[in-house]
């Protein structure tokens, strides 16, 4: 077994994801099977291989240098706020974070 129930509980906590008991067990079993499958990567010796962290090579990268950091107006702000579950323009309101 690659992944325990405790591992799934810990991971769900890291991901802020509420999971029912049934979900915990289902995902544990399925993710375990996937991790077993992934084990096959250990057949390969990759000690001298550089990880592929970028898809585009340097000469394909659009911006050899970064753009200027210039302030530009953001026109969508009011419309975006309308999408919020609990807007208090110009803020997003959330449940109380700090106990005093």
CA dihedral of residues 75, 76, 78, 82 (deg, nearest 10): 170
Question: Given the rule CB under 8 A, which residues bind another protein?
Answer: 3, 7-8, 10-12, 14-19, 23, 26-27, 30-31, 33-35, 37-38, 40-42, 44, 46, 49-56, 60-63, 67, 76, 79-80, 83-86, 92, 94-97
- Shortest spacing between CB 71 and another protein, in angstroms: 16
- Shortest spacing between CB 90 and another protein, in angstroms: 13
The phi-psi region of residue 16 (left if phi > 0; otherwise alpha if psi is between -120 and 50; otherwise beta) is: left
Nearer to another protein, 1 or 10 (CB): 10
- Shortest spacing between CB 33 and another protein, in angstroms: 6
Residue closest to 31 by CA, chosen among 43, 19, 47, 16: 19
Q: Is the separation of the CB atoms in 83 and 76 below 8 Å?
A: no
Structure-block tokens of residue 19: 């999971």
Nearer to another protein, 1 or 23 (CB): 23
- Shortest spacing between CB 13 and another protein, in angstroms: 9
Give the 3-state secondary structure of residue 46: coil
């Amino acid at each position: 077994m690659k992944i325990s129930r405790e591992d799934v509980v810990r991971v769900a906590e890291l991901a802020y994801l509420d999971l029912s008991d049934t979900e915990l067990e289902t995902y544990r079993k399925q993710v375990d099977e996937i991790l077993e499958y992934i084990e096959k990567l250990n057949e390969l010796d990759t000690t001298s291989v550089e990880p592929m962290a970028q898809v585009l090579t340097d000469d394909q990268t659009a911006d050899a240098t970064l753009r200027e950091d210039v302030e530009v107006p953001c026109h969508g702000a009011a419309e975006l706020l309308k999408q919020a579950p609990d807007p208090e323009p110009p803020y997003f309101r959330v449940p109380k974070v700090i106990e005093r």
